[in-house]
Structure 1
Amino acid sequence: MVRKLLSLCAALFILIQTVTAQSNLYDLIKASPEHRILSLLIDLYGYDDDLINSPVPLTIYAPTDAAFTTLGPYKLISILSNPEEEIGALLGRHVVIGKFTAANIMDGQQMLTITSELLTVGLTNGVYTVNGVEVITADIPASNGVLNIVHEFINPTATGNTIADIITTSPDHQAIASILSTSGLEDDLRGEGPFTVFAPTDAAINALDPLFVQELLADQAGKLRSLLLYHITFGNFTSSSLTNNQEILMSNGQRVTITFDGDIMMVNNIPVTVKDIIADNGVVHSIDTVLIPELDESNTILDIVARSPQHTILFASIALNGLDESLRSEGPITLFAPTNAAFEAMPQGLIEDILLGGNSAKVLLRHITNGKVYSDSLEDFSSIVMLDGSEFIIYRNQDKLSIAEIIGGDLVYPLANITVKDIEADNGIVHVIDAVISPIQNYTLYQSLVQSSNHRILQGLVNLLGMKEDLDSPDASLTLFAPTDDAFSKLPQEVIDTILNSDLDQVATILGYHVVPTPLSLSELTEGFSFKSITNADLRVYKFGNVTYINNAKIIQGDILTNNGILHVLDDVILTPDVVGLKVLSQRDGKIFPNPVSDQLNYDFTGYLSGDLTLELLDATGKRIGTYKQAPQGYISTAGLETGVYQLRVTDQSSLLTKPFIVVR
């Protein structure tokens, strides 16, 4: 990704600077004693060539080793566990296209990074900042740019403009701005997005045939809306992210084709005159010709969804999952179409998880069945099978038709009501529904444990402690972090002994750490997110790439949706600072060195841990590699370990400490 952006940016620079005897950016970072970790990341993942042979001058704000210590305890492992995405974003956010020194920039000036993010310069009372981060050492000259040193990571900021703001304030786009405002689409383009808009200039609008304009104005809800939507798509399509002959599904259900003629980007053979105008919620490309869609009154199921302002979320998901051709095909099929309000009524985070996650296409197929299913053909308790294999029944609920799921031949509960029925399409029927038919299991959190062969210990503790009623109540709305039987079996012996010797109230407190009084989906469990259990224990989220940890415990299966909450399976029992007498120490307590390490990792926990320590060596996935009994100060051999990320988990009689480290060969 970084290499591609660098090569594309080369066209922005016409003058070729003469290479001097100065060191290049890579050599400067490599030689700096403050940038060992950054240098390691550059070497490990092959970005050295980019910083040596960049086709354009660059300005780098290089975070020191001290910056890495400010990360959460698992963030470094997250970076190394997902290098293509994490390292590219981390480095790219600190690399600006062009050569900027403190002498040639102004307060408030914005600079574009190679990841298309904007950084804002601050120059106040002699203090030089970038997005609020102070530049400690500025303007170190390099043969291919400038190096600056920062002690913190730079976070991106918004540009201050939505797509709607950019279009409405552009003197060349007043006509399209007015039309978008009248149509109601302007408000949509102020939304979260991301969107990509091909914005025709005033000259493009004025060049339209007056008779064609009259035709559009005579059918504003149909032809005019379709034309406007033909210029808008869901997603962030910058020119660097597009390839020659790539097709993009636009919001009216029709596709455009992107081509390139050298540096010129074209959409349907129309040149893009100004590309990559970055907004808070997407990107704008300016064009001098209006894109004309097919206005032949096509009325497929996809057309109906695309034209409906109440189904923009559904259409976006259809587009993202490549199901548009299925809904445009001959059919016949029947679509049960949830409205925007139906999606927005879902628990926070579940829209992204259900519609944009790994099973999103399957979820959409739960709303489609083969054949034309008219409402008057549905007898009470008629059965229909959806394209994902789910079986539902349609039954009459007073004056409405409702959908319910069949479990073991019994009606469990309504899933959705049909609010608008029998919308005829060329290739089938559309029924509008008031809820998303999400893949929620039709049993409780407790029943989930009963059905699991890996939660016998947890189920037994729940029964013993009288928590069954809480986890089995249909009125509950909880999150359960469920340690497996293996998780209990690999607890440190000191913890097991303490649990066995505790009274039931203490054990109930421990179990309560695993129950949260609100439903939390994986999308809400972001790096650094803190929350409370039902026993008021402090819980915190750490990320290893795509892997999520709650305190010390890894989620190995997440987002099991039940009818009274969300269940996440853990491979460890959650430990907190007060769990069974163990104090969980900070990542900054004690020290391990060197880090990165090659053959021998030294440690010193004097003053933090005492007596005989239990040292457990874990890989990045949490798998135990070795266990040692040692003193508070000493070393362990890492000679047999491959390059990668590891953890050292250490316990004494009263405390627990975990430290990540890197092995380099």
Structure 2
Amino acid sequence: MKKYFPLKAGVLALTLFAAGCAKNKEVAPTITNIAVTNPDFQTLEDAAIRGNVAVLLGNKNDADPSGNFTVFAPTNAAFARLGLNSAADLTALQQPFLRNTLFYHVFSGTLPGSALTPASTSGSALGITRRIIQRADGSKYVNGSKILGTDVAAANGLIHPIDKVLLATGADVLNSALALQKGDVFVKPELTFLVEAVVYCNLQAALTGTATTPKLTVFAPTDQAFKDLGVLLNVPLNVPADIRKLPVATVTAVLLNHVIIGGTQGGKFTPELPENSTIAAAGGPIALGAFTNGVLTAKGNGNTAPANMVIPDVQCTNGVVHVIDRVLLP
């Protein structure tokens, strides 16, 4: 734990950075104070300021009798996995989405490490639950994020550092993709080719659902992945509408090769997927690689090289989406 939080229990002459006012008296370190003073959490501090939650986490929790919050805190390296290395990079995200993402890391009350038992769940300030996963080696994850340590005490709660940013959309897979396509998540639209392909093949219903429907695990190719496919097929795919140059049956078969519906592999986060094995998508088998640094590669029968996970472990109401950099060919 000292690697992440070298602070000792005691008092610190700190200001609540986000409030912008200096104080000349010693105060116990709050969650915000700790983020401000620890270089491993510079990006989290920047995100808290841009997301307008720094002041909230610098004070007692009025909704909890003990006045506490519990925060799963992504390190700088966790943000860097999404290409977010600085305050300037955070402007690539829409502010409401960033704020909701931060709320997804917060539990109202005290959630000690001892309560993070395998298969347990916890609520979040976003209103969406998270679950604890334990791998055979004993390592623990919250959704797809490895828990690097537990029970770092702050004046207003606890901090558990994690190695990935937790992502949840509050919508089903289809509407989550539509949010990306419309630029409601990243300022720059993404998954625009995928959405066009789904509409072209009339597969919208396959990606909708609720918490009570069969869970989906979806591998979602980026726009660049589709453009690269166009080069491979010698059919230029420069804009989403170009998908319609391909036969609808061909596109349908390709799309189905990205979706696992229900069963033992539906709705799975990365630490739950069976590494170095094959899983059955609706359109054919997908070969998964080794579980390395919290992600796995995925390869269709028609691929010469596997796809990498660009944004893994996006929780939707009816499953989990892993954004990948290559289209999986049946």
Which structure's CA Rg is the greater one? 1
Normalised by the length of structure 1, the TM-score is 0.25
Highest RCO, 1 vs 2 (Cα 8 Å, sep ≥ 6): 2
Name the structure with the higher strand share.
Answer: 1
Normalised by the length of structure 2, the TM-score is 0.48
